[in-house]
């Protein structure tokens, strides 16, 4: 089981695209269940220090999700989105919004791949405004999505 990389790695694919990888020492069906069943989602989604309340989790294409993170001091932050694509047990595409900053969305495409010793989960996140997302859904994802923009990474590095 040493092949599994326990850390999340991420890379900036473009200015608005980030890919994250993580390998889990578990069979793919089980990982998919952890993403698809709200009782399981409540046990892992969000910050460890906060309580996660799964308010809505309509796991089907077009279905909505809403989760609340309640900090020990009682403060609550809600996240929401909807499921765009579901292909058990290998692919889930969903949107992600942070309610305190409404209007900004990422589409998170999760790919579950069987690898030696477990399951590799890749999240391809694309960040955009609502208008952009609407446009993308109409035109189909294309045009420049695969371009690589090391420049921005460099640029951001200079700003740290």
Partner 1 sequence: MVKTERQLDLIFAALADPTRRAILARLAQGEATVMELAEPFAMSLPAVSKHLKVLERSGLISRGRDAQWRPCRLEPAPLEEARSWIDMHRTIWEASFSRLDDLLLELQSGNGIQADRAANIESDGKEPNDEPNR
List residues binding partner 1 (CB under 8 A): 6, 8, 10, 15-16, 18, 20, 22, 24-31, 33-34, 39-40, 43-48, 79, 96, 98, 101-104, 106, 108, 121, 123, 125, 127-129, 131-132, 144, 147, 149, 151-152, 154-156, 158-159
Contacts of 55-62 spanning 24+ positions with Cβ under 8 A: 56/80, 58/83, 59/83, 59/86, 60/86, 61/85, 61/86
Q: Which is nearer to partner 1, 58 or 154 (CB)?
A: 154
Q: Which two tokens stand for residue 114?
A: 């069987």
Q: Which is nearer to partner 1, 86 or 97 (CB)?
A: 97
Q: Is 41 helix (H, G, I), strand (E, B) or coil?
A: helix
Q: Under 8 Å CB-to-CB from 153, ≥6 apart: which residues?
A: 12
């Amino acid at each position: 089981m040493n092949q599994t990389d326990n850390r999340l790695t991420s890379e900036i694919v473009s200015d608005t695209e980030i890919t994250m990888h993580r390998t889990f020492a578990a069979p793919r069906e089980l990982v998919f269940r952890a993403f698809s069943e709200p009782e399981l989602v409540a046990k892992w989604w969000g910050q460890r220090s906060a309580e996660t309340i799964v308010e809505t989790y309509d796991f089907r294409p077009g279905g909505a999700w809403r989760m609340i993170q309640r900090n020990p001091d009682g403060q609550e932050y809600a996240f929401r989105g909807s499921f765009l694509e579901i292909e058990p047990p290998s692919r889930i595409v969903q949107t992600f919004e942070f309610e305190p900053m409404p209007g900004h969305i990422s589409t998170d495409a999760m790919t579950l791949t069987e690898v030696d010793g477990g399951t590799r989960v890749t999240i391809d996140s694309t960040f955009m405004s609502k208008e952009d997302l609407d446009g993308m859904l109409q035109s189909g994802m294309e045009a420049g999505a695969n371009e690589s923009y090391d420049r921005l990474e460099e640029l951001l590095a200079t700003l740290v």
